[in-house]
Amino acid sequence: MTFDASKRTFIECEHWLDVLEELNIGAFIVDFNRKVRAMNYSAQALMGFSESEVVGTDCREVFWGVPCLVECLVRGDDHSDEAEPDVALSDEADNKYLVTRMATPIFDHNHQMIGCLTILQDHSPIADLIQRVQYDERSMKIVLDNLNVGIFTVNRGGLITFFNKAAETILGYRRDQLLGEPCETLFESDAPADLSLLREAMSDGNARSAAVGRMLTIDGITIPVRSKYLALKNEKERIVGGLVTFHDLTLIHRLTQAVRNQYTFHDMIGKSPAMQNLFETVRVVAGTDATVLIEGETGTGKDLLAKVMHSASPRAEKPIVKVNCAAIPANLLESELFGYVRGAFTGADRDKPGHFQLAHEGTIFLDEIGDLPVALQAKLLRVLEDREFFPLGSRTTQHVDVRIISATNRGLKHLVEQGEFREDLYYRLNVMTIAMPPLRDRREDLPLLISHLVRKLSPPRENPPPGISEEVMGVLLNYDYPGNVRELENILGHALILCRDDVVKIEHLPDFLRKWGTRREPGTADPYHANVSERQTILRMLQRCNGNRGQTAKELGIDRTTLWRKMKKLGIEAPS
């Protein structure tokens, strides 16, 4: 029985068609031979075909005006998660539909392109409404408030004057929190391009669009969006403000990650000093070919960090191959790592490449490297030194060009002292060591992580994800998390399955955590909760006051000395 990796990959992608269907986003899949594999109901409605009519046919004969494979062939591993220019489709009655199209390649588990996923979203009705909207038409604002696309308006000074329900759902703000606030609140300080497009549209009256932009949720989490920027005019055709529409691309972003296995620094959540220092180091190291050792407790995100480093490296277009050294039996590990030739052992009826050959010109990630058998450590040392090895049963060396990233939660230096790990191999792997901080050492990141994970784990729906009650937040902020971020994710996943309300309550937590929470002394102070809230308040006010500490202290009702002392205590760096 042979394993068809491409068939499995297509099945995985077809699951995402159902997810996109929940958001009324059309999508279809074609294979490398341009044959249609699947199409969801939203795409069928847009295109005017049923799935049974098109599956197995050449996509060029079906999708007139919508290229179905050529961009994926041209782009390959390039950034194909960016939207294409809008295309106009016509139905049998010659009604026009303005559709935004996005194409991303589908790869098999050997990183060979096997097809293309195309996403379609009809926004003609929204575009038509926006073309007619007038700044002072209250009835039109009621219509905009009920659309499933995020919309906000600003006056000439950039202050927010309208914020619809969909925008509240996407970004987590209540409109009363934003009305009268500068729109800069919604954008990253290091991403001025989005704001520039709004200013340009308000300057000359011409609409602008951003296929992939970024906006900030109330918790400071960056989300990918597709945006349009328009000028608002009064009855005399004078520009009196601007209007922004935005679609949340989070699910599409995750889909692209799942299909292409590529990640960015935005996928790692953390604003604590420990994480910011880590990001600075990784940004420098990722662009080199240096061998990297990632150390950290279980669940701290070593796997994700390795993927981020690979995606930010010059080898990003080539595969990253992960090997868990603890999960493969010792007697099979050598053949898995280095492959074997025909006749190497009973049953070896063909040559089989190992993980090192599959990672050629890319990256190999050796997870749990501390569990590598001593007998194999010498062979790995040769690969590090000479970039060559003998496949099992072969007399000919195999040369590979790979970058090696390894990870361990055991502490290799301690294993060297115990005689369980070769010292020379340790120093070869330890060219650059990155230590992942445990969650208990960066508690100020907990609110951000909790918000991000709730959003990630909540199923797609019209209502915003549930909130966290104060009692539950107190427990989550004080627990030590021996399993780190992975354990936090499991806890929240458990709670969200049980929660059928708008708020996660103490009864939704796992039994062990509820019992742990009740063992705390009643009335015990919650220093972490208080410190995290105070830190967020000061950071937000500093941002609002453009880093002016005098104005920040005044707004907070404290003097500058008190503010300086609190900033030092809470690890808030003075803005430059």
How far apart are the C-alpha atoms of 23 and 445, rounded to whole Å? Answer: 30
The pLDDT, as a whole number, for residue 403 is 94
24: Cβ contacts below 8 Å, ≥ 6 apart: 42, 148
Q: Please enumerate in sequence order all residues whose Cβ is within 8 A of that of 209, keeping only pairs 6 or more positions apart, or say none.
A: 197, 226, 227, 228, 229
Query: Would you say 362 and 404 are in contact if contact means Cβ atoms under 8 Å apart?
Result: no
Q: Which candidate, 159, 210, 206, 218, places its Cα nearest to that of 464?
A: 218
Mean pLDDT across 25-46:
84
Residue pLDDT, tens place only, 24-34: 678 888 888 88
| pLDDT single digits (tens) 450-499 | 888 888 887 665 566 788 888 888 889 888 888 999 999 999 999 998 98
- Rg, Å, the chain Cα set: 27
Place of tokens 């969200």: 496
Question: Mean pLDDT over all residues of the chain?
Answer: 78
Q: Where are the beta strands (DSSP E) in 296-402?
A: 320-324, 363-367, 388-389, 398-399
Q: Do the strands 363-367 and 388-389 form a parallel or antiparallel pair, or are they unpaired?
A: unpaired
Dihedral sign from CA coordinates of 72, 73, 74, 78? positive
The pLDDT score that the predictor gives to residue 402 is: 93
Q: Is the pLDDT assigned to residue 442 strictly greater than 50?
A: yes
Neighbours of 235 (CB within 10 A): 9
- 29 contacts 106 by C-beta, under 8 angstroms: yes
Q: Which own/partner contact pairs does 420-424 have at CB distance under 8 Å and 24+ positions apart?
A: 420/370, 420/374, 421/370, 421/372, 421/374, 421/377, 422/374, 422/377, 422/378, 422/381, 424/381
At 134-185, the pLDDT tens digits run 444 555 566 676 677 888 989 888 899 889 888 888 888 888 888 888 998 8
Question: pLDDT per residue over 344-393, tens digit each?
Answer: 777 777 888 889 999 999 999 999 999 898 888 988 998 888 888 888 88
What is the per-residue pLDDT for 56?
87
Q: How confident is the model at residue 256 (pLDDT cuts 50, 70, 90)?
A: low
Q: Does the pLDDT at position 292 exceed 80?
A: yes
Instruction: Quote the CA–CA distance of 112 and 247 in Å, as a whole number.
Output: 31
User: CA angle, 255 as apex, 250 and 277 as ends, to 5°?
Assistant: 60
User: In percent, how much of the chain has pLDDT > 90?
Assistant: 15
Contact 486, 436 (CB under 8 A): no
Residue 556 identity (one-letter amino acid): L
| Sequence ranges of the domains in the chain | 5-122, 127-253, 261-435, 439-518, 527-569
Which CATH code fits 127-253? 3.30.450.20
| Span 517-567, pLDDT tens digits | 666 544 444 444 445 556 777 777 787 777 788 778 777 767 676 777 677
Kindly state the percentage of the chain with pLDDT values over 70. 74
The answer to whether 313 touches 403, Cβ cutoff 8 Å, is yes
Q: What is the pLDDT of residues 182-212, one digit of tens each?
A: 998 898 776 677 888 898 989 888 888 887 7
Q: Which SS3 state, helix, strand or coil, does residue 147 take? A: coil
**Which one-letter amino acid corresponds to residue 211?**
A
Provide the token pair at 186: 């919604």
Rounded to an integer, what is the distance from CA 492 to the centroid of its chain?
Answer: 18
Provide the residue type at 148 as one letter: N
Residue 101: the pLDDT is: 72
Cα separation, 114 vs 49, in Å, equals: 24
CATH number assigned to the domain covering 261-435: 3.40.50.300
Q: What is the dihedral of CA 229, 231, 232, 237, to 10 degrees?
A: -160
The pLDDT confidence band at residue 109, using thresholds 50, 70 and 90, is low
Considering only residues 324 and 42, tell me which one the structure prediction assigns the higher pLDDT.
324
Quick check: do 5-122 and 127-253 share a fold? yes
What's the rounded Cα separation, in Å, for the pair 412 and 423? 9
Q: What pLDDT does residue 136 have?
A: 44
Q: What is the pLDDT of residue 329?
A: 86
Return the SS3 of 370. helix
Residue 83 has pLDDT above 60, yes or no: no
Mean pLDDT, to the nearest integer, of 2-7? 47
Stated pTM of the model: 0.60
Closest CA to 253 of 266, 234, 240, 241: 266
CATH number of 5-122: 3.30.450.20
What average pLDDT does range 70-92 have in this prediction? 51
Report which of 43, 131, 56 is spatially closest to residue 89, judged by C-alpha positions.
43
Contacts of 7 (CB under 8 A, 6+ apart): none
Distance in angstroms (rounded) separating the CA atoms of residues 420 and 507 = 45
CATH number of 527-569: 1.10.10
CATH class given for the domain over 439-518: mainly alpha
